[in-house]
Structure 1
């Protein structure tokens, strides 16, 4: 099935070795994009971008990061284990020549460091965690702190029943108002104790040590890359965009105006244009899959 502007891709479920996950998939035989989200979000954050990418196969999984509907007690829930989950998903769906797109959560950067990127031909880093900004900004640090305080996440989950609280949380990440229906969709699973336990296990491991250059392994990725950085972002430092572009051997840097961290919501039109241009760039022969 091809995607035309305004349509919603099919949502499916797949059983992986450590988790059951939902994912949206436009299907088709066009070039494949794998679109990843951050904590307390799901695949729907990409819907407006996907609707602007007809002819491409867009796959967007819902990772076990707090807005998921299938608890994942079998996974240790670290950046490395989630990167392995992403690699397993690519293999299970037989995705090849993949354009891997990260927004907010930057954990899939360790795919390169772990040598799990043989199916990845192109990489797009869209306003995501990098270097020592893990977790990202004040909201990420507050979430990590709450994960280590008994009962704190449960209290936060109950507070998200209030529209004003939902709006305040969204305003830290988006330059434009986020529809409340979407916010309710994301925060409803968070009120499930088992889902919340997954997020607690993941978030309590952070922040990363101050001396850890968390993105250093990206220098080994020689394929075409896009670094798209939001001009109004309060979570991702402005200097990280150019720094990432310098680190990647074949990267183009794009500034996205009138957008904060959630570029797929704030400027889906601009981001879709950059992704189309990235897909058209010829992949480097990296000695991966035929």
Structure 2
């Protein structure tokens, strides 16, 4: 199996893995890769069909993405690690936690939930699929990325999202929507053994409160951080606050 492209920073400390979401890429974590490199060996995979892994065929299941990430970490010599996933990447890391719980020291579920159908999303999955086909990938990626910020296209880091979204393939964009529709990780949550943190922006238009609330109330050893004045992409809207929350949690 071809391994996913990885961004890496840091030379010492425990491994810390960042998994991006839909129409994203490892480049969305640039500030975190630098901020955490003083005490962690940071790794950010590009999911198949996205970012620097755009040349790879994307799986149409969340399980397929999870296996790809696990295999890539194994190939990189990373056995156990802290794990953080955002949005669709949050689904992927939940699946990783169900498949290989012994490998994960601490888990951060950020801007995500346990149900792939996204009942509170700004638009239905079928609408996104149709608009991809009629409006094209770039227009759809730009429109969706604007919903990630409280102030939309005026956000300072919005162009970074455009640049990463432009690397994705249409195959990956469509396959990922199918992956959401068939995925439900709810039954796995109560068995998660690792300390877990849920992070959510109170203006998130992709995952309504019912999704992070279910994670927080179901996972046994779980903490919750709600960041006010943010939408879906807290780590780019208020990076200093996001980084402080994650660092405090990882410190144990």
TM-score range, shorter chain: 0.7 to 0.9
Structure 1 residue 108: Cα displacement: 2.4
Structure 1 residue 241: Cα displacement: 2.2
Measure, in 1, the Cα distance between the counterparts of 2:116 and 2:59: 22
Structure 1 residue 216: Cα displacement: 2.1
Indicate whether 1:204 and 2:178 are aligned. yes
Aligned to 1:233: 204
Per-residue CA deviation, residues 35-60 of structure 1 (Å, 9 max, x unaligned), is: 01111111121112233222211111
What secondary structure sits across from 1:51 in the alignment? helix
Alignment of 1:92-111 (within 5 A): 92-105=75-88, 106-111=91-96
8 A Cα contact 1:90 1:119, kept in partner? no
Structure 1 residue 135: Cα displacement: 8.2
Q: Which has the higher helix share?
A: 2
TM-score, L = length of structure 1: 0.75
Measure, in 1, the Cα distance between the counterparts of 2:49 and 2:120: 14
Q: Quick one: which of 244, 247, 251 aligns to 1:276?
A: 247
Aligned to 2:24: 41
Indicate whether 1:52 and 2:30 are aligned. no
Measure, in 2, the Cα distance between the counterparts of 1:42 and 1:238: 25
Structure 1 residue 32: Cα displacement: 1.4
RMSD (Å) for aligned C-alpha atoms: 2.6
Measure, in 2, the Cα distance between the counterparts of 1:140 and 1:26: 37
Taking a change above 3 Å as real, the CA distance of residues 132 and 39 of structure 1, as seen in their structure-2 partners, is closer
Taking a change above 3 Å as real, the CA distance of residues 80 and 269 of structure 1, as seen in their structure-2 partners, is same
Taking a change above 3 Å as real, the CA distance of residues 181 and 254 of structure 1, as seen in their structure-2 partners, is closer
Aligned to 1:188: 166
Measure, in 2, the Cα distance between the counterparts of 1:68 and 1:140: 28
Measure, in 1, the Cα distance between the counterparts of 2:93 and 2:10: 23
Q: Quick one: which of 98, 105, 117 aligns to 1:121?
A: 105
Aligned to 2:133: 153
**Quick check: which has more Rg, 1 or 2?**
1
Measure, in 2, the Cα distance between the counterparts of 1:94 and 1:69: 19
8 A Cα contact 2:138 2:165, kept in partner? no
Indicate whether 1:246 and 2:226 are aligned. no
What secondary structure sits across from 1:118 in the alignment? helix
Measure, in 2, the Cα distance between the counterparts of 1:249 and 1:205: 26
Indicate whether 1:83 and 2:58 are aligned. no
Measure, in 2, the Cα distance between the counterparts of 1:119 and 1:39: 24
TM-score, L = length of structure 2: 0.85
Q: Which structure 2 residue ranges, 5 or more long, are not aligned?
A: none
What secondary structure sits across from 2:150 in the alignment? coil
Q: Which structure 1 residue ranges, 5 or more long, are not aligned?
A: 1-16, 282-290
Structure 1 residue 213: Cα displacement: 4.6
